[in-house]
Amino acid sequence: MSAWLMAAFLRGLDAGETVALTRAMLESGKILRLPSVTRPKVDKHSTGGVGDKISLCLGPLVAACGAAVPMIAGRGLGHTGGTLDKLEAIPGYDVHLSASRFEKVVREVGVAIIGQTAELAPADRRIYALRDVTGTVACIPLIVASILSKKLAEGIDALVLDVKTGAGAFMRDEAQARELARTMVDLGTDAGLTTVALLTDMSTPLGLTVGNALEVRESVEVLAGGGPSDIIELTVALAREMLAAAGQPDADVEAALADGRAMDVWRRMVAAQGGDPDAPLPVAEHTEVVTAERDGVMESMDAMGIAVAAWRLGAGRARKEDPVDFAAGIELHAKPGDAVMAGQPVLTLHTSEPAKFERAHEALAGAITWAAEGTAPSPRRPIVIDRIA
């Protein structure tokens, strides 16, 4: 298999070969049917980013609008955060549900977010471990087969993809990200799954937090009707796509955020998966504030630099089996386009081990740039760059 993966990496796979690989991986295990879930079933997949807590807001919001969201999510690896790690920062939250309990939660609550089970696409898990050690991760056909084999195993009717591009994305180059989105949309559609992709910007972290417990707090703010504008914008855009794909294009997404329905679903989901929605989240024992050295307007904030710093503080992992510090991470007090004064807080670093501050600062060197005095910063490109269907 290692030799075959290297051949696929070097020579590529055509569309027929990618379909065959996806189907073989899908059929290597169990396919969920969720027969008792009568609502249209739709999921979303993100290719991973920095501060990307969208799933936490999105799943309950789409469920509050009438669709079912059976979501199988992943853990963070390297600089990207994982939805499961964020949820496990909530005391008691169980991401390891049996297939029958998963179906029950989706039926009764409208949404459940769990990890990949041993029964779903087991070939993908084995192959991914080999891709990691053979240096064949960055291969579009292999990425497509990995993602779609797991999503097709969920028994969903529709899938919306959030394909990120920019400094903090897995696919930094926009042309490559666009190719990945196009390939996944075509393959998902050919498999009988309504599939749409949004190409989105990941040059700057999403929201104002990076790190597991910090991002859960921010997600709850959004579900309560507040939170950062970029998180709200992307959550609403993806929710509209999911609901349209599920046959509910007229759902009032903004109203479900504003009137508390999405928050109600969040609380029910957390409780149904063993968590306490009212329990205090982990808080770091040590913090350090980074201040602006001079007056100015922030020109850019490199998502990769912020991500690596958060990772070094303990928020991420280098290997799949490594533990994470749920309380570690970074708060952002300013974003590109904001004017700040000398001495004003720009970042707050959180960790349980103060010895980690030094290496985090090394990662932050050059991560923030400032506009020249008297000039306005370059306009930021939109969060949603394109829609691919």
Active site residue 131: yes
The residue type of 4 is: W
Which amino acid belongs to residue 181? Answer: A
Instruction: Give the C-alpha separation, 186 to 308, whole Å.
Output: 33
Is residue 101 annotated as part of the catalytic site, yes or no? no
Question: Which among 252, 263, 55, 15 has a CA at the least distance from the CA of 160?
Answer: 55
146 is catalytic: yes
- Look up 45 and say whether it is catalytic: yes
For the question of residue 124 being annotated catalytic, the response is yes
Q: 213 by DSSP, 3-state: which? A: helix
| Catalytic residue, candidates 45, 151, 164, 312 | 45
Which of 79, 86, 150, 178 is labelled catalytic?
Answer: 150
Options 124, 157, 230, 302, the catalytic residue: 124
Of the candidates 146, 203, 219, 300, the residue annotated as catalytic is 146
Question: Which residue out of 53, 75, 131, 335 is catalytically annotated?
Answer: 131
Catalytic residues: 45, 124, 131, 146, 150
